[in-house]
Amino acid sequence: MSVTFDEYIRRILRAIEDIGFFNKDLLAEKLGMSKEQLELALREYFFGKSFAIRAYPNYARLGLRYSVAFLDFSFKWIDKAPGFLDAMARDGFLVTWLKPFGGYTYVTHHAVPSSLIGNYRRFFDHLTDLGLLTGYKLYEIDSEPEAFAYDPVVFDYRRGEWKERAESPRVERKLRESAQEAFPKLDETDLLIIDQLERTSLQSLDAMAKALGLTLDDVKSHLEDHVVKGGLIKKYIIDIFTTQMLSPETAVLAGFCEGMSGEGYGKLLDYVLNHPYLGYVNPGASALEFTLEMPWRVVPMFSTLLDKKIIEVKPAQYAFGISVLSQIHTFTIPYEHFREGKWFFDEADAFSTFQRYLENPLF
């Protein structure tokens, strides 16, 4: 199947916005395509053009409050934690959860309608009273996550796969060298293109070129040379790819650090921003959240390096581990709650899921 931007991609993106969240089955049905045709259309265009969209939901535009919770499960109920957290995902507001290496603390990432954040706190308080949790900390994150393209040194964009020797010493050298390199300097054209990307969900490259008074080749070259290869931010309402769609062998190593000195925060942020496997980073005022996405085979090496770096900057609290939910880059809002860019629920209805947890918290 020959795929062009105007033929498929614009329709796919419009359908994603109409539906309100990314679901391949619903999209395929809306577009009159099979699920396989939809995936092929996305892969042929984005990978074939060496242009992979890396985006994260624009939570502020959706009216959501992004939060990270440290849940300290009691020893008695620690074996119930995975089932409990899987059940919490049913309401659609749990972005991902991870179990740090060792200990009884699980870390959850939520994107919650602002009116429900107090309900989350009361819910966790109740679980503490029941003895399921020994305690918890809930951090409300004011900043927006920034998503990055994979470094071409480790990811083959034409094939949509991790490079075979991504674990070679060359990657380690790249990591050390990149820490010394300046971030790609943006010229005026880059800024215009990024402004277009942020203000519009995504339009055809031809339309973007006309809007900016540029040639199509100029737009493509700036996107490829600076935006993709430079790992710059692309913000849209919704992401197109799940991690698994990019490559089935991908592991997501997620981290959250809070309570560092200014110097320590800067050192860790520099390390993360220059990492060849950077997925996204969310630099808050006092806390730093990030993901490193990589083939499973290199996780032991890079998790060890990350652990050493985090200990070096001495945060008051931190956790990192393998993220569990595959929707870490595809925020799946329940269709009955959100469609066509608007919320359709009242607080009592949305909170009914939590009431079921309270009635039978251990499932």
Mean local confidence (pLDDT), 253-262: 85
Q: Per-residue pLDDT for 147 more than 80?
A: no
Distance (Å, rounded) from C-alpha 174 to C-alpha 180?
10
pLDDT tens by residue, 14-50: 565 455 445 667 778 877 888 787 777 666 554 444 4
Nearest to 42 by CA among 52, 57, 29, 30: 52
Q: Are 236 and 13 in contact (CB under 8 A)?
A: no
Structure token pair of residue 297: 């085979």
Q: What residues does 258 pair with on adjacent strands? A: 287, 317
pLDDT at res. 134: 92
Contacts of residue 70, Cβ cutoff 8 Å, sequence gap at least 6: 105, 106, 107, 136, 137, 138, 317, 319
Q: What is the pLDDT of residues 59-118, one digit of tens each?
A: 665 667 788 888 888 888 888 787 777 667 666 677 777 776 556 788 887 877 777 788
Answer yes or no: are the C-beta atoms of 219 and 213 closer than 8 Å: no
pTM metric for this prediction: 0.56
CATH number of 59-143+330-359: 3.30.70.920
